[in-house]
């Protein structure tokens, strides 16, 4: 059980890095978006390539952000219903949910790899010096791999420990959960 917890802590540290990176990416794309709006509507001089850079940062931040939300159990959970259900029912639902995410992540990997290979061959457009594959398909591939690792851990750790804190939202510093 100690090894299970140490693996979870290591994944948690990677998740913390992803959260910080995602936060900065969102800040940068919002700043670029504001700059582009000002340049376009105030100065009538939009900057070529900013729109595509915003799209790229938005897609990367959303894909990595989904991983952090999954790890922190910040997704929609009907806690008020789950808390009133018997322990056996909750265990079945949490186990099914974890394995469903494993299967979906597994399926996304080859599909997003194939999409990346197709898009990588396309010439760059929109002002960025690389093809759209690097900001349309690659973020989904990275998200799928990270989600697979996280979901396999959660599924195995929950089955081994039975600890529901693996599957339910946990209050973090800087914010709180509504009761």
Each residue's pLDDT tens digit, 86-137: 888 888 988 998 999 999 999 999 999 999 999 999 988 888 888 999 999 9
* Average of per-residue pLDDT across 143-151: 97
* pLDDT tens-place string over residues 35-92: 999 999 999 999 999 999 999 999 999 999 999 999 998 876 667 677 788 888 888 9
Q: What is the pTM of this model?
A: 0.87
Which candidate, 146, 160, 11, 152, places its Cα nearest to that of 65?
146
CB 22 within 8 A of CB 61: yes
Using CA atoms, how far apart are residues 3 and 166, in angstroms rounded to an integer? 15
> What is the residue-wise DSSP string for 84-124?
TS-HHHHHHHHHHHHHHHHHHHHHHHHHHHHHHHHHHTSPP
3-class SS shares of the chain: helix, strand, coil, % to 5:
75, 0, 25
């Amino acid at each position: 059980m100690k090894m299970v917890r140490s693996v979870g802590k290591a994944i948690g540290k990677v998740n913390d890095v992803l959260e910080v990176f995602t936060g900065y990416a969102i800040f940068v794309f919002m700043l670029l978006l504001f700059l582009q709006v000002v340049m376009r509507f105030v100065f009538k001089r939009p900057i070529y390539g900013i729109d595509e850079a915003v799209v790229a940062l938005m897609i990367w931040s959303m894909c990595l952000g989904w991983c952090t939300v999954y790890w922190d159990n910040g997704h929609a959970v009907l806690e008020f219903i789950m808390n009133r259900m018997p322990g056996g029912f909750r265990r079945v639902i949490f186990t099914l949910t974890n394995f469903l995410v494993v299967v979906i992540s597994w399926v996304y990997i080859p599909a997003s790899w194939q999409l990346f290979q197709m898009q990588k061959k396309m010439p760059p457009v929109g002002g960025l010096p690389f093809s759209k594959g690097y900001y349309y398909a690659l973020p989904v591939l990275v998200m799928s791999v990270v989600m697979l690792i996280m979901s396999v851990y959660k599924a195995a750790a929950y089955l081994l420990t039975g600890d529901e804190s693996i599957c339910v939202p946990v209050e973090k510093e800087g914010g709180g959960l509504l009761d």
